[in-house]
Amino acid sequence: MRILVAMSGGVDSSVAAALLVDGGHEVVGATMKLWGGAGDSGCCSVADVTDARRVCDRLGIDHHVFNFTEVFNEMVVDPYVEAHRRGETPNPCVECNRHLKFDAFIARAERLGFDSVATGHHARVERDADGRSQLVRGHDRAKDQSYVLSILGSDQLDYLLLPVGTMEKSQVRAFAEQRGLITFAKPDSQDVCFIASRTKGLGRAQFLGERIDLHPARVVESASGAEHGEVAAVELVTIGQRRGLPTDSSMRPRYVIDVDVNKRVVTVGDREELMVLGLRLSNRTWVHEPRVSGTRVLAQMSAHGAARKATLDDEGLTFDEPSRKIARGQIVALYEEHCVVGSGVVC
């Protein structure tokens, strides 16, 4: 097969390419240049492109750079900024997967005559009894990335190979070292790639502050209505947040339980007040046919969070037991056992 491997310059995609080369496939590596801004420090920096190219040199395969900066700005960065303006907590990595890695990239691979694309995600594509593609959690549960791929449909899964999904991360690194790939010891990427890491929170505040007006907001106790003071930027506050809030006289830990950007009010309360019985979901996607109301699922609300038992309804889902409230804009991945069935965005 002719396979185009999306190579970030990290160890997982390096090993993905190596495994496919060893498997006798005709492999070409490609790195997406997504961001050319000042925060050029993330998963598409010049140094990472160089690493990807050197890995390809080592493997004896071609390497290309695709300039997707325009579509990345349009489909990921601008919506990210807009979501913060509305007081939501967007997940740009998922949107990048949705619009870049598994849309623009696959479309280009098809036009260039490739049979498949591969990435270094820790998840598995398996066939069910009917031969349909299923997205299954990665073998290394601690590194499982099926959450960020939960927006994919079967058309995309049919075209996708995830060669490291059957490996432990330690095996991936050991293989890379033994294969002589310079990326074997590179740390896992963590931050949003277009925001210069620096101090984590500060980077985001600066990035957004350069693009939208940030407004101070009153911090109000949910039960009593008592005011605790102000936060500097309501657009940067997220549900469940504990740090960076003015303390009240009782010195009890306070959690953000609601954010109202229009009224510029942040409501805080006890941890118990964060618990909700269900979530409303928009932008729902399904790997195959839509799941009907009443379907039992496991709902995962963050990349490596616990999956909670829930039942789908017309609006979203209801948890079996109260679960922590999730900020609007976050992705919920829906599973049946270890298999992704769909996704939604908290609204």
Partner 1 sequence: MTSAPERTSAYLDHGATTPVMSEVVDEMLVYLRDDFANPSGVYRAARDARRAIDDARDVLGEAFGCASGEIVFTSGGTEADNLAILGIERREGGRVVVSAIEHHGVLRPAESIGATIAPVGRDGLIDLDHLAQLLDDMTDLVSVMAVNNEVGTIQPMASVIKLVNTHAPTALIHCDAVQALAFCDVKTLTRGCDLVSYSAHKIGGPKGVGALVVNDRARARLHPILRGGSQERDLRAGTENVAGIAGFAVAVRITSQRRAETVERVRALRDRFVDTLVHEIPGVHESVDRNLRHPGNAHLVFPEVTNEEFLLLLDRYGVAASAGSSCASGAIEPSHVLVAMAMSPEEARSCIRFTLGQSSSGDEIDYAIASVIAAHHQIVASDRR
**In which region does residue 274 sit, left (phi positive, over 0), alpha (psi from -120 to 50) or beta (all else)?**
alpha
Secondary element (H or E) of residue 2 = strand 2-6
Q: Please tell me which residue in 43, 44, 93, 193 is annotated as part of the active site.
A: 193
Q: Which residue has the tokens 């820790």?
A: 122
Helix axes 11-22, 46-59, angle to 10 degrees: 20
Cβ 207 to partner 1 shortest distance, Å:
20
Q: Determine whether 193 is an active site residue.
A: yes
Nearest to partner 1 of 51, 140 (CB atom)? 51
Which residues in 39-58 are b (16+ Cβ under 10 Å) and which e? bbbbbbbeebbebbbbbbeb
Closer by beta carbon to partner 1, 36 or else 201: 36
User: Residues interacting with partner 1, by CB under 8 A?
Assistant: 31, 33, 36, 44-46, 49, 53, 64-67, 69-70, 108, 110-113
Pick 56 or 312: Cβ nearer partner 1: 56
Closest CB to partner 1 among 35 and 102? 35
Nearer to partner 1, 8 or 146 (CB): 8
- State phi, psi for 131 to the nearest 5 degrees: 80, 10
Residue nearer to partner 1 on the CB measure, 111 or 243: 111
Strands 296-300 and 307-312: antiparallel
What DSSP string describes 50-82? HHHHHHHHHHT-EEEEEE-HHHHIIIIIHHHHH
Q: How far is the CB of 289 from partner 1 (least distance, A)?
A: 24
Beta strand pairing status for 265-269 and 331-336?
unpaired
Q: How far is the CB of 39 from partner 1 (least distance, A)?
A: 14
Q: Give 60: exposed, middle or buried? Use CB within 10 Å, 0-12, 13-18, 19+.
A: exposed
Known active-site residue 43? no
**Shortest distance in whole angstroms from residue 199 CB to partner 1:** 26
249 HSE (CA, 13 A, CB side): 2
Question: Shortest distance, CB of residue 121 to partner 1, whole angstroms?
Answer: 22
Residue 164 Cβ vs partner 1, minimum distance, rounded to whole Å: 24
Which is catalytic among the residues 43, 44, 56, 96? 96
Catalytic machinery residues: 96, 193
